[in-house]
Structure 1
Amino acid sequence: MKSKLTLLSITIFCCQLLTAQIQKWQNPKSYSTVKIEQWQVADLVFKTKKEVKDPFSKNSFAIVTDKKITQKIPMFYNGDKQWVFRYSSAVIGKKTFVIESDIKELNHKKGKILVSKNQKENRHGGVVLNKENPQHLFYQDGSHYFNLAFECDWLFALDYNQKEITKTKHLLSLVEKHKFNQIVMNVYSYDVKWPKDKRLLDYPEHEYGSREDIFPFLGSNSNPDFSALNIDFFNHFDKVISEMHNKEIVSHLMIYVWNKLVNWPDMQSKADNMYYDYVIKRYQAFPNIIWDVSKEALHYERATKDYISERIERTRKLDAFNRLVSVHDYGFCRNHKDEVDFISMQNWQHTLYQNMLKARKDFPNKPIFNIEHGGYEESPYVTFPGAYDNAEACLRRNYMCLFAGGYTTYYWQGTSWNAVIHNPFEQPDNFIKPKFDYFTHMRTLFDTVNFENCEPIEKYNGAGYNLTNKKDGIVLVYAPKENNWVGAAKAVKDNFNYQNATQQWFNTITGEFSKEEKYIIRGVALEFWASRPWKNEADAILIVRNLTPKEK
């Protein structure tokens, strides 16, 4: 068989992400049709006979065509004379591709791809915008994407240099189990610049800062060689993103971070552009990708506004899949709203709810996502306490974001930064455990009330926070545990007929729903105040359902 090889050997790998396994087809003489499912990711790997000088600077594209769409998808170099055309599709049917390349051995090569209908029950495609409902996020199949994020900056470092990604899989299984569906993460971080908890010295297995063996370029962070990229780093990172896709967890991928002691190349240098372009080329085919140019993009005087704008433009030019783009900097998003797909906020103020609500009013055509609200739940290590570390206070701040009509992010100090406890529930009894279950309950609630149809109406707040779903006939009122009573009557009477309405309460700590009872407005005043359960025990949410919208 080897004697019959053409100048270009073709090996086709299809990343069977349903089972996180790689299946291999090899046809060195002809182009077999590659068969994949909708939103599955396939790697078509072309190996040249000769080494290519300065391979990261070469341009190679696969031009994919079906009856309606043409995509120009950049290929990437993967070492050992391998060039990868990575592909996925939201559209089923037959595709053809032809390669356009600076490399003579690759140029004009052709192939076929057949995309069949998705068979994975909980797979819905990439995250997109919806012109009919512009302040919410959706999947490509039209279902709502309830953006509930989990920060883990050092996820890339777990299991590095290991054949199996056992720790990564364990942590991701917890994220999946507790119904988080996004991880806010860095491509690479080196270390934190603030003091570390001395207790980490007793548990070095949880410390991932200052790892000199991990670096996206050649060399190390302390002694970098910016002449080329470290293929081993990205092969490992592939495993992480693939496993996240397998578990339907979105990667909110921050390509840069300025405050984690990374020795980056100079802005707009050849090395800088090589790195940035490579990340976009290599990961755009994954449906579970959202781009973020940089964490805290303009906070540390490393980057300029013009530089961030150029990076966004660069992303959109290279990304043939049109993944969403934002910047982890509210000032930039506010002043460059037409450049980003959604507004990223970082707000620690006590008036978080009012600030989120104002942002929603200021940007009526953009989703609002608070990536950092200053609530960093306590862990065995004081990694970075922020403004709040009490678990219930942090939970309340997440609800404030949601009841203002935005999306939110959860931080646990034991996973968010350099200290990563991948198996927190298997630690000693004296270790503080995270309250992941609080967010499982949160998702359970919001999956039942169609958050994408809910609107915060400030005039109905009273002593709590209001969300009104006019389309589905639901009113919610959030009440802090110190609150005596809250009411939904004004929102109900203004917008609905309520003859068949019911009410019940939801406990944000335990996830318990009270018994559903008939909703009755009593008294001579328009307001009905419902006595609330769990006073001083837990924040609670009053839910009025089965309301019929009034005819206009």
Structure 2
Amino acid sequence: MKNIIYTLTLFFLVSLQGTAQIKTWENPKRNIVVKTVQWEVNDIIYKVKGDVKNPFEKQVYAVVSGEEGEQRVPVFFNGNREWVFRYSSAKIGEKIFVIESDIKELNHKKGKIVVGANEKQNRHGGVVLNESDPQHFYYEDGTHYFNLAFECDWLFALDYGQKDIPKTEHLLSLVEKYGFNQIVMNVYSYDVSWPKDKRLLEHPEHEYGSREDIYPFLGSNSKPDYSALNIDFFKHFDKVISNMHDREIVSHLMIYVWNKLVEWPDMESKADNMYYDYIVKRYQAFPNIIWDVSKEALHYTRATKEYILERIERTRKLDTYHRLVSVHDYGFCVNNPDKVDFISTQNWKHTLYQHMLEAKHKFPNKPIFNIEHGGYEASPYVVFPGAYDDAEACLRRNYMCVFAGGYTTYYWQGTSWNAVIHNPFEQPDNFDKPHFEYFKHMRTLFDTVNFQNCKPLEKYNTAGYNLTNEKDGIVLLYAPKENNWVGAARIIKDKFDHTHATKQWFNTITGEFTAEEKYEKKALEFWDWRPWKGEADAVLIIRGLKKK
């Protein structure tokens, strides 16, 4: 009874300490009963009495049995003689578990897990594929996942070494507020190789490159010690990932990066495997994880195709939750589509829309995710200018990806790389502020038209881009601000009865919708001029169509 009271007391204390918390069950002395709900992350922590030699090499598993079958969940070393069984479940019901280990104190530890129904309104589980709709992402509960990503490679570095993570929480609150639901991020990066803006020297609080106190191994990036991992690094990283989970933000986790000056151990060395395996073991229980082997995996001389293939297979072997896996390299995905769960593309070309369409047609059974399209919105510092830095041009490129039926990523130079301004709207007036609101508007638009039912019927493009939802009777037409008009007469003639149809316009800059009015099909639609010409790109939305 004493142990039960202690465990429950600990749980309530943990729950009251803030948002970014994992439900913790500390050092149970007997067969424990864990009560949880769907997609809640639980740490069952066992502390052994003696030191374990080579703890990162130990194979320790919790074998979980339930109605859905058996699951072998890795148990990971957490320093200070602690071993953690981290667990979450998508399935409701009772399960039993037993620890299998050659560590005597852990072997045959047992318990029961009782999983109740999820009660959090905006929680839908991990991101998965859907056999009946293979080009779109879904959550485990069947809800569509509109993948709208935000790049922040150095997120791990905010608040590093501190007990709490206020900077991280502030930035994540903005990501959440403005409708982004994924962060493309590195486990670790050291610094950039390109020139740095001299203005950044005046604001060292925004510079996170070349931090010698942050490293996933012992030692530092300049003087690495590959004999063991830095547990404190991963304890901090837990706070970041769990705060994202609380906010329903997916971590698109790039385990390696080759062009950020990291001193990695040799490929497939003992240290390399220790690092890679540990990440997969420690973070797979988080429903908000998507694996990416490496940023720009084959663009540099570090990795080979064979190495990336081996890392993918390694991930799938270790990950008992079967989280999605991809590689930040379009060439690799093109040549190995059966090895990845979705196609990651990187394309800076002016003809981005056409290339996204080509990818969609080439891979009809995979979602297409543009992870980097050369649009890097300007910030107070020129961090990486890319091909486009004008905010509206960057926004348009994101719409090109979506109107081609794919998913997209937003970059702001003030958060994407080594310079991280975690509170951009609290900076002086002479600091360039990001236009996060543009993407809040985008999210609002596509939440209203059931994006998962939309298809780019490019033969019906007129002066802009077409996206058609035949199931729900909706036609969208994207018009760049220079365009006079976009027309739907041809597609409506071919596919729909428009007797009860309405039309309205959407302003991509302000998020404004015009009032709905009756749609009248005209032969010469270019006389029907669009609003906000020369001021903003706009989307014509025709609803209430009935399929012929």
Report the TM range for the smaller structure's normalisation: over 0.9
Query: Given the superposition, is the C-alpha separation of residues 138 and 530 from structure 1 closer, same or farther in structure 2, using an over 3 Å criterion?
Result: farther
Q: Structure 1 residue 433: deviation in Å?
A: 0.1
| 1:403 and 1:466 in contact (8 A); partners too | yes
2:522 paired with 1:545:
no
| 2:20 and 2:240 in contact (8 A); partners too | no
Aligned partner of 1:68 in structure 2 is 68
- Tell which deviates more after alignment, 540-549 or 17-26: 17-26
Amino acid at match of 2:67: K
Aligned partner of 2:433 in structure 1 is 433
Aligned partner of 2:443 in structure 1 is 443
Aligned partner of 2:278 in structure 1 is 278
| 2:25 and 2:45 in contact (8 A); partners too | no
Amino acid at match of 2:235: N
Query: Given the superposition, is the C-alpha separation of residues 371 and 26 from structure 1 closer, same or farther in structure 2, using an over 3 Å criterion?
Result: closer
2:141 paired with 1:141:
yes
Amino acid at match of 1:301: T
Q: Deviations over 1:322-342 (max 9, x none)?
A: 000000000000000000000
| 1:486 and 1:529 in contact (8 A); partners too | no
Return the alpha-carbon distance in structure 1 between the equivalents of residues 63 and 436 of structure 2: 44
Summarize the alignment of residues 470-481 of structure 1 with structure 2, pairs less than 5 Å apart.
Answer: 470-481=470-481
| 1:151 and 1:411 in contact (8 A); partners too | yes
Identity %: 75
Q: Structure 1 residue 544: deviation in Å?
A: 0.3
Q: Structure 1 residue 529: deviation in Å?
A: 5.9
Amino acid at match of 2:405: G
Query: Given the superposition, is the C-alpha separation of residues 221 and 481 from structure 1 closer, same or farther in structure 2, using an over 3 Å criterion?
Result: same
Q: Structure 1 residue 19: deviation in Å?
A: 3.6
Q: Deviations over 1:85-140 (max 9, x none)?
A: 00000001101001111212211211100011001110000000001110000000
- Tell which deviates more after alignment, 481-490 or 152-161: 481-490
Query: Given the superposition, is the C-alpha separation of residues 373 and 25 from structure 1 closer, same or farther in structure 2, using an over 3 Å criterion?
Result: closer
Q: Deviations over 1:373-424 (max 9, x none)?
A: 0000000000000000000000000000000000000000000000000000
Mind listing any 5+ residue stretches in structure 1 that lack a counterpart?
Answer: none
Return the alpha-carbon distance in structure 1 between the equivalents of residues 204 and 88 of structure 2: 39
Q: How many residues align?
A: 543
Return the alpha-carbon distance in structure 1 between the equivalents of residues 130 and 21 of structure 2: 33
Secondary structure at the aligned position of 1:125 is classed as coil
Secondary structure at the aligned position of 2:536 is classed as coil
Return the alpha-carbon distance in structure 1 between the equivalents of residues 48 and 40 of structure 2: 26
Return the alpha-carbon distance in structure 1 between the equivalents of residues 21 and 346 of structure 2: 38
Q: Structure 1 residue 491: deviation in Å?
A: 1.4
Aligned partner of 2:132 in structure 1 is 132
Return the alpha-carbon distance in structure 2 between the equivalents of residues 116 and 28 of structure 1: 21
Aligned partner of 1:407 in structure 2 is 407
Aligned partner of 1:534 in structure 2 is 532
Aligned partner of 1:57 in structure 2 is 57
Aligned partner of 2:499 in structure 1 is 499
Secondary structure at the aligned position of 1:53 is classed as coil
Aligned partner of 1:466 in structure 2 is 466
Aligned partner of 1:305 in structure 2 is 305
Q: Structure 1 residue 12: deviation in Å?
A: 8.7
| 1:464 and 1:480 in contact (8 A); partners too | yes
Return the alpha-carbon distance in structure 2 between the equivalents of residues 58 and 28 of structure 1: 21
Secondary structure at the aligned position of 1:487 is classed as coil
Q: Structure 1 residue 497: deviation in Å?
A: 1.0
Aligned partner of 1:331 in structure 2 is 331
Return the alpha-carbon distance in structure 1 between the equivalents of residues 87 and 158 of structure 2: 26
Return the alpha-carbon distance in structure 1 between the equivalents of residues 326 and 511 of structure 2: 33
Summarize the alignment of residues 246-285 of structure 1 with structure 2, pairs less than 5 Å apart.
Answer: 246-285=246-285
Aligned partner of 1:197 in structure 2 is 197
Query: Given the superposition, is the C-alpha separation of residues 136 and 530 from structure 1 closer, same or farther in structure 2, using an over 3 Å criterion?
Result: farther
Secondary structure at the aligned position of 1:36 is classed as strand
2:511 paired with 1:511:
yes
Q: Deviations over 1:266-287 (max 9, x none)?
A: 0000000000000000000000
Return the alpha-carbon distance in structure 2 between the equivalents of residues 406 and 346 of structure 1: 12
Return the alpha-carbon distance in structure 1 between the equivalents of residues 166 and 49 of structure 2: 36
| 2:21 and 2:242 in contact (8 A); partners too | no
Mind listing any 5+ residue stretches in structure 2 that lack a counterpart?
Answer: none
Q: Deviations over 1:356-377 (max 9, x none)?
A: 0000000000000000000000
| 2:24 and 2:44 in contact (8 A); partners too | no
Secondary structure at the aligned position of 2:441 is classed as helix
Q: Deviations over 1:304-361 (max 9, x none)?
A: 0000000000000000000000000000000000000000000000000000000000
Q: Structure 1 residue 493: deviation in Å?
A: 1.8
Q: Structure 1 residue 29: deviation in Å?
A: 3.8
Q: Structure 1 residue 49: deviation in Å?
A: 1.2
Aligned partner of 2:395 in structure 1 is 395
Q: Structure 1 residue 21: deviation in Å?
A: 3.6
Amino acid at match of 2:216: P
Q: Structure 1 residue 495: deviation in Å?
A: 1.4
Aligned partner of 1:341 in structure 2 is 341
Return the alpha-carbon distance in structure 1 between the equivalents of residues 29 and 457 of structure 2: 65
Return the alpha-carbon distance in structure 2 between the equivalents of residues 409 and 204 of structure 1: 27
Query: Given the superposition, is the C-alpha separation of residues 521 and 210 from structure 1 closer, same or farther in structure 2, using an over 3 Å criterion?
Result: same
Query: Given the superposition, is the C-alpha separation of residues 404 and 440 from structure 1 closer, same or farther in structure 2, using an over 3 Å criterion?
Result: same
Amino acid at match of 1:100: E
Amino acid at match of 2:193: K
| 2:27 and 2:46 in contact (8 A); partners too | no
| 1:487 and 1:529 in contact (8 A); partners too | no
Return the alpha-carbon distance in structure 2 between the equivalents of residues 502 and 240 of structure 1: 45
Alignment root-mean-square deviation, CA: 1.9
Return the alpha-carbon distance in structure 1 between the equivalents of residues 493 and 507 of structure 2: 25
Return the alpha-carbon distance in structure 2 between the equivalents of residues 295 and 440 of structure 1: 26
Aligned partner of 1:364 in structure 2 is 364
- Normalised by the length of structure 2, the TM-score is 0.97
Q: Structure 1 residue 31: deviation in Å?
A: 1.6
Q: Structure 1 residue 16: deviation in Å?
A: 5.3
| 1:257 and 1:296 in contact (8 A); partners too | yes
2:424 paired with 1:424:
yes
Return the alpha-carbon distance in structure 2 between the equivalents of residues 22 and 272 of structure 1: 28
Return the alpha-carbon distance in structure 2 between the equivalents of residues 49 and 12 of structure 1: 21
Secondary structure at the aligned position of 1:452 is classed as helix
Return the alpha-carbon distance in structure 2 between the equivalents of residues 249 and 182 of structure 1: 5
Secondary structure at the aligned position of 1:531 is classed as coil
Q: Structure 1 residue 301: deviation in Å?
A: 1.1
Amino acid at match of 2:63: I
Q: Structure 1 residue 522: deviation in Å?
A: 2.6
| 2:22 and 2:41 in contact (8 A); partners too | no
- Normalised by the length of structure 1, the TM-score is 0.96
Aligned partner of 1:293 in structure 2 is 293
Runs of 4 or more off by more than 3 Å in structure 1? Answer: 11-19, 21-29, 527-530
Return the alpha-carbon distance in structure 1 between the equivalents of residues 238 and 424 of structure 2: 25
Aligned partner of 1:41 in structure 2 is 41
